[in-house]
């Protein structure tokens, strides 16, 4: 009897030990999932829109690749594949952890550059666009060509102190501080339909400021369009209630 009793106690002890191990494993898995969730959230917060004189940037860990706008990916239109391939990726510029998507290499290929402009023109030619508003600085590269093809005027949206004469301003928040966009008073008229152009959308802060600025002047923003965008802007994403259209996704 004592032997059976001892065996039963050993069996119960082993069962309790196994249950304790399972609980510890579940706790570790839960902690691991929580750490992974926090890591993903941290990555998303680090996706900031970085504008430098010669290119555009996205976070290294953004997990983005080649893609297309809301009407299909590169597989559906070979021009999108060519546009994406023409954009050079410069690692760790302008600071560590950033993959710099440099559109200047796209500009060196006239056919690809023209294809990008033509795709925007084809999308907006029947929308009654009265003006194309380009955001400093690389919105100035694509905006005038699109405006000319649409028979619309081009309106530059510039950083503070760059425009002579009377201006209207709109401030917006950056990750570290604030910035501002300015536009000439009278550049757009009440009710005019406006297309906003920039090269990149990452956080959407600059585009949102452009929308507010134009609407304060009485214009109607039809859409925002960018050559490159983070994956979250692919499809039917909106900023301030306005749709955003991108050609290709950021590359690593």
Q: Mapping DSSP to helix (H, G, I), strand (E, B) and coil, where does residue 104 land? A: helix
For residue 142, what are the contacts with CB-CB under 8 A and spacing of at least 6? 116, 117, 120, 134, 197, 199, 227
Range of weakest confidence among 104-113, 133-142, 173-182, 203-212: 173-182
Q: What distance in Å separates the CA atoms of residue 93 and residue 100, rounded to the nearest whole number?
A: 6
Q: Provide the annotated active-site residues.
A: 138, 175
Range of weakest confidence among 27-31, 101-105, 114-118, 139-143: 27-31
Q: Does position 123 have pLDDT exceeding 60, yes or no?
A: yes
- Note the pLDDT of residue 8: 57
Domains of the chain: which residue ranges? Answer: 1-44, 51-249
- Reply yes or no on domain 51-249 having CATH 3.40.50.2020: yes
Q: What distance in Å separates the CA atoms of residue 41 and residue 45, rounded to the nearest whole number?
A: 6
Nearest residue to 58 via CA among 231, 214, 242: 231
C-alpha dist (Å) from residue 176 to 50, 137, 172, 182, 230: 12, 20, 11, 20, 20
Mean pLDDT of 91-117: 94
- Note the pLDDT of residue 75: 53
Mean pLDDT of 146-160: 98
pLDDT tens per residue across span 162-204: 999 999 999 999 867 899 999 999 999 999 999 999 999 988 9
The reported pTM is 0.72
């Amino acid at each position: 009897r004592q032997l059976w009793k001892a065996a039963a106690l050993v069996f119960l002890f082993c069962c309790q030990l196994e249950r304790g191990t399972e609980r510890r494993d579940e706790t570790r898995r839960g902690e691991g999932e929580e750490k992974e969730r926090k890591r993903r959230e941290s990555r998303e917060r680090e996706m900031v829109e970085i504008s430098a004189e010669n290119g555009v940037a996205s976070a290294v860990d953004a997990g983005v690749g080649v893609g297309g706008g809301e009407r299909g990916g590169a597989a559906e239109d070979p021009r999108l594949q060519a546009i994406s391939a023409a954009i050079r990726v410069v690692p760790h510029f302008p600071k560590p952890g950033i993959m710099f998507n440099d559109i200047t290499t796209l500009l060196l290929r006239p056919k690809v550059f023209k294809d990008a402009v033509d795709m925007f023109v084809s999308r907006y030619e029947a929308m009654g666009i009265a003006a194309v508003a380009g955001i400093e600085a690389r919105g100035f590269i694509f905006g005038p060509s699109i405006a000319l093809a649409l028979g619309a005027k081009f309106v530059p949206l510039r950083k503070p102190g760059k425009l002579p004469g009377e201006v209207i301003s709109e401030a917006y928040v950056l990750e570290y501080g604030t910035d501002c966009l300015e536009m000439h008073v009278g550049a757009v008229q009440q009710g005019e339909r406006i297309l906003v152009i920039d090269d990149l959308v990452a956080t959407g802060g600059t585009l949102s400021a452009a929308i507010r600025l134009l609407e304060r002047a009485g214009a109607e923003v039809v859409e925002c369009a960018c050559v490159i965008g983070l994956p979250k802007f692919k499809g039917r994403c909106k900023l301030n209630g306005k749709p955003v259209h991108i050609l290709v996704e950021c590359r690593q």
